[in-house]
């Protein structure tokens, strides 16, 4: 595995109008990382993710993807860069009036040159990757919350992305479904080499799959810790990080 930086944030300021959530922060996400963005409520985790995915403009600074300035790219150039990325939103964000197959086929129909039969084969393959073989004709209302998350992941993987962004993937899931999703993310990272960027406050996920992280602090509007979460819990750089990572006094190796 290489340590080449795939995503670089330089002097990034994130916020709304006259209010800053993060000021002048720098961080790097390496190829093949499972990179966790963590911190307490209101620290700017989800807003930072929206900036990284181009859904929101930063107030200042730049984001580079494989050396290309994503922030200063034209709309067309940003679209091309985002075709190399997938996003799993908090609730799965499936279209309720479409079957799972239709949901997953949508990006392939819009952004690829595949014919109908090739798309059908790819849809079945992506569903099999997430353990949903045979569910092509089901509607989102007919499956469980965990299955919706996995179907959303299948759609995020439709265009074979190099980077997949996750916004609180375990939110609303029972512990078993959450663990299955963690295992799926880990397998995706290890078998396909996909870079994972993950916003979560779930300790079980942070320690089970994260190998790199940043900890956001709303008071200083900065990053107050970075590195492998397992190292941070063993040698916390400050009391805030220690308290966050030892909630419930759970021991982690």
For residue 179, the SS3 value is: helix
pLDDT at 66: 92
**Could you tell me the maximum CA-CA distance found in the chain, to the nearest angstrom?**
56
Number of C-beta neighbours around residue 186 at 10 A: 15
Helix H, strand E, coil C: the string for 35-81 is EEEECCCCCCHHHHHHHHCCCCCCCEEEEEECCEECCCCCHHHHHHH
Per-position b or e across 153-163, b if 16+ CB within 10 A of its CB: bbbbbbbebbb
- Alpha carbon of 26 to those of 23, 58, 93, 143, 148: distances in Å? 9, 13, 30, 41, 34
What is the pLDDT tens value at each position of the chain, 253 positions in all? 457 899 999 999 999 988 999 999 999 999 999 999 999 888 999 999 999 999 999 999 999 999 999 999 999 999 888 888 999 987 778 999 999 999 999 999 999 999 999 999 999 999 998 889 999 999 999 999 889 989 999 999 999 999 999 998 888 788 888 888 899 899 989 988 999 999 998 899 999 999 999 999 999 999 999 999 999 999 999 999 999 999 855 444 4
Q: Which two tokens stand for residue 2?
A: 């290489």
Q: Which two tokens stand for residue 78?
A: 């940003």
pLDDT at 223: 97
pLDDT at 248: 56
pLDDT at 252: 45
pLDDT at 201: 86
């Amino acid at each position: 595995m290489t340590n080449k930086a795939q995503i670089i944030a330089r002097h990034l300021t994130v916020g709304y109008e006259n209010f800053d959530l993060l000021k002048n922060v720098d961080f790097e996400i390496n190829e093949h990382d499972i990179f966790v963005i963590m911190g307490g409520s209101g620290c700017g985790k989800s807003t930072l993710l929206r900036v990284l995915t181009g859904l929101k403009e930063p107030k200042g600074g730049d984001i580079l993807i494989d050396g290309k300035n994503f922030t200063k790219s034209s709309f067309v150039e940003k679209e091309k860069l985002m075709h190399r990325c997938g996003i799993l939103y908090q609730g799965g964000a499936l279209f309720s009036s479409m079957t799972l197959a239709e949901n997953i086929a949508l990006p392939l129909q819009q952004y690829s040159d595949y014919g109908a039969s090739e798309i059908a084969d790819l849809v079945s393959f992506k569903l099999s990757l997430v353990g949903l073989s045979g569910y092509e004709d089901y509607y989102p209302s007919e499956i469980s919350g965990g299955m919706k998350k996995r179907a959303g992941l299948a759609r995020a993987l439709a265009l074979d992305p190099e980077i997949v962004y996750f916004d609180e993937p375990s939110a609303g899931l029972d512990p078993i479904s959450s663990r299955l999703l963690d295992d799926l993310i880990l397998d995706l990272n290890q078998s396909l080499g996909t870079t994972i960027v993950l916003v979560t406050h779930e300790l079980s996920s942070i320690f089970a799959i994260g190998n790199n992280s940043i900890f956001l602090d709303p008071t200083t509007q900065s990053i107050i810790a970075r590195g492998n979460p397992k190292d941070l819990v063993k040698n916390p750089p400050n009391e805030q990080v220690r308290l966050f990572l030892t909630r419930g006094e759970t021991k982690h190796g």
